[in-house]
């Protein structure tokens, strides 16, 4: 599994295709995505970021008390509601290395889709987790954070 980078890379700029059936291969893919996301020090990873044009993303934010230790896998996700309140925060992306910018996102979202077992799930998220969900859904729609970021800057490699 290799990370896809570059703002003009076609798979990062395409609408991902729905997953027709949750198979053992899809479950294995999700396990591998989680492993790589952690290895790459990310909090979310969408299938297009590893070169797969599929509507799948994983997320895990370990340092927020409300969500600590909670792993999320979404297949064919849809954001079905958003708050009126918007927050600004700096974001980066594994696929756009060494760049950061300020992004406006909804404070709260409700997202639904299938989990890694093929069961329908609905999650209400707020704060940073809501931001991660929106960022990953953007990936599935061919959008990158740099498309709407203000105050873009280069960041040092650590």
**Residue positions annotated with a catalytic role:** 136
Q: H or E element: which one contains 67? A: none
Distance of CA 145 to the CA centre of its chain: 11
Rounded Cα distance, 95 and 105, in Å: 19
Residue with tokens 């979404």: 74
- Could you tell me if 135 and 149 are in contact, meaning their C-beta atoms sit under 8 angstroms apart? no
Rounded Cα distance, 98 and 142, in Å: 20
């Amino acid at each position: 599994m290799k990370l896809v980078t570059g703002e003009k890379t076609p798979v990062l700029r395409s609408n991902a295709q729905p997953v027709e059936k949750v198979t053992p291969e899809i479950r294995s893919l999700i396990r591998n995505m989680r492993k790589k996301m952690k290895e790459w020090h990310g909090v979310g990873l969408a299938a297009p970021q590893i070169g797969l044009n599929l509507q799948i993303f994983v997320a895990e934010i370990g340092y927020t008390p409300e969500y600590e230790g909670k792993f999320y896998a979404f297949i064919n996700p849809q954001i079905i509601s958003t708050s009126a309140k918007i927050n600004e925060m700096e974001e980066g992306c594994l696929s756009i290395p060494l760049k950061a910018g300020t992004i406006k996102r909804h404070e709260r979202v409700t997202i639904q889709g299938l989990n890694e077992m093929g069961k329908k799930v609905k999650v209400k998220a707020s704060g940073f987790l809501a931001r991660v969900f929106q960022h990953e859904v953007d990936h599935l729609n061919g959008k990158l954070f740099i498309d709407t970021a203000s105050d873009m800057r280069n960041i040092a490699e650590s």
